[in-house]
Structure formats: C-alpha cells, structure tokens
Amino acid sequence: MEPAALRSHDFGEIAQHYDARDAIIYALGLGLGQDPCDIADLPFMNETALSVLPMFAVTLCSPGMWIRQQKFGVDFNKLVHSEQMAWFPQSLPSTANVVGDAKVISLTDRGEGKGAELVLERNIRDADNGDHYCRLHQTLLLRGDGGFGGTRAERSPSIIPDSAPDIHADYEISQRAALIYRLSGDWNPLHLDPVFAKSAGFEKPILQGLASYGTAGTVVSRAFNHNPVNITRLGCRFSGVVMPGDKLDFRIWRLADDEAVFQAFVGDRKVLDQGQILWGEKI
C-alpha cells in the first residue's frame, strides 16, 4: 500500500444531474412502495409532489472504485466498507444539478494482519445555488494492508446502552432489493451475479451495505413516528452480511425525542451496529 498516494489523491470535482425518477428508484431500492396502498410511502413515489429521502444524497457524485487504481497498492479483494456516517443539513429537491468533492481525511493502522482503516469525506452541494445537501464519512477497512507503520487506529466506545431496547421494529428485505438498489449506481456484480457471489464465498448475491443503511433510516424513523425526510444525521457500522429476503430485527433505544441509537439482527446474527440517528429542522 502507498499511504502518501492515498492521502494526497486529488479527486477533482464530480458533477451529476438527478431528477425525480432517480429519487423514486432509490426509494424503491429501499423497499418503499411494496404496499402500493401505503399512504406513508406515497410522497416518495409521486413525482408531482415528491419528497426525497435524505439518504439518497450518499449515492450522488460518487468517485466510484477509485481505490482500485494500481498506484495505491491496496489489496482490493480484501477491502470492506465497514462504516457510514452522514449529515444532511438541507433537504434535497426533486431534481438538481449537484457537485461533489472528496478527500481522504484519515488513514490509520490496525497492525500487521489486522488491516488499516481509511476514512473518505465527501460533500454534496447544489451546483447552481451552493446549498449543502450532505457531508459524509465512509470508512473502509483495508484488511490486507495493515502494518504499514501509520498512526494506530483507536476503537471508540460503544454507544449502545446495556439496557433492553425501548422498541423493536421488524422489516423484511425484498428478494429484488439488491437488483433495484444497484440502479442507484452500485454496479458491483456481487449484488447481481450468483456465480460471482459464490466465487466470493456467498451462497447468492448479497444486499448492498448502503441499502441496509438507507433502510435503517426509514425503519427507525417510522418506529418513533418521525418522517424520514427530517433525518439530519445517520450512521452505522456494517457488522454482518444482509441477504435479499432477510428479516431484520431492529433494536432501538430512544435517547431523546429527536435522537436514537440502534442495532439490527438477522436471527441471532448482528448485521448493523453502533447505529445513530438524529431528526431535526433543516435550512
């Protein structure tokens, strides 16, 4: 691995146009609209009066598989998207021209054989008026690149209470979820091709981590009677694989009227951890 090349990489500015169709496809990829008579989902389906999920912003202006470039020397086959955190200060319109910037803000060493952690920060803004729609931190675990001699990675204490959760919320992932979500820009064959998935050690294509992330935002919001459009912060750690068709058990702790933390399980297997969500007014 080449730490200096990673830290100094110039991503440039990435421009994108999206419209109501793109925002609706994103909502469908999270499972909204499974019941066409569910009026709570209708605002995210109706292009004439569209509400846009704030988590849609994390799909915009993506730098793609940038880290796969040979100059970085990263063992891409051992790379895992381990955590996601995003802040949503302003609401997304139904259509916009957006621009994104990106930079590596942290590269730490977990030790030989334990991997390295890279944090990529991205900002998504309106290209026409400068509105700031999203700031996100994407944490990548470079499992094959530990022991490079960098600053040691520190583990943060758990934010999950020791007490029983205040509420449980079940949600069944659609069998087609990965196929629909990939239309929002994740073209990894791991989420499409059964043969490729088996070569990677899975019995079938798996769900995208960011699909689980977006789903958590809607499910946890509704468990506390919040409209997901009012999410201003959402983060979680990806601690296990989610398959299309899995039934997620969300365990949620209320910290305040506008804040909660959560985990998600498939049976006894934890798949999302250190989840946090905040709701509030936007500019």
Question: Please, which residues bridge with residue 17 across strands?
Answer: 97
pLDDT of residue 152 exceeding 90, the answer is no
Q: What is the tens place of the pLDDT at every residue in 165-221? A: 999 999 999 999 999 999 998 888 889 999 988 887 889 999 999 999 999 999 999
Q: What's the CA gap between 51 and 264, in Å, rounded?
A: 26
* Model pTM score: 0.94
Q: What is the mean pLDDT of residues 100-125?
A: 95
Fold of 167-279: Thiol Ester Dehydrase; Chain A (3.10.129)
Which tokens hold the place of 164?
């029983």
Q: Per-residue confidence at 154, pLDDT binned at 50, 70, 90?
A: confident
- Residue 111 pLDDT: 87
At 153, the pLDDT band (50, 70, 90 cuts) reads confident
- Note whether 194 and 179 are within 8 A (CB): no
Domains 3-142 and 167-279 share a fold: yes
What pLDDT does 129 receive?
A: 97
> Residue ranges of the domains in the chain?
3-142, 167-279
**How do residues 25-69 score in pLDDT, each as one tens digit?**
999 999 999 998 999 999 999 999 999 999 999 999 999 889 999
283 pLDDT more than 80: no
Rg of the chain over Cα atoms, rounded to whole angstroms, equals 19
CATH topology of domain 3-142: Thiol Ester Dehydrase; Chain A (3.10.129)
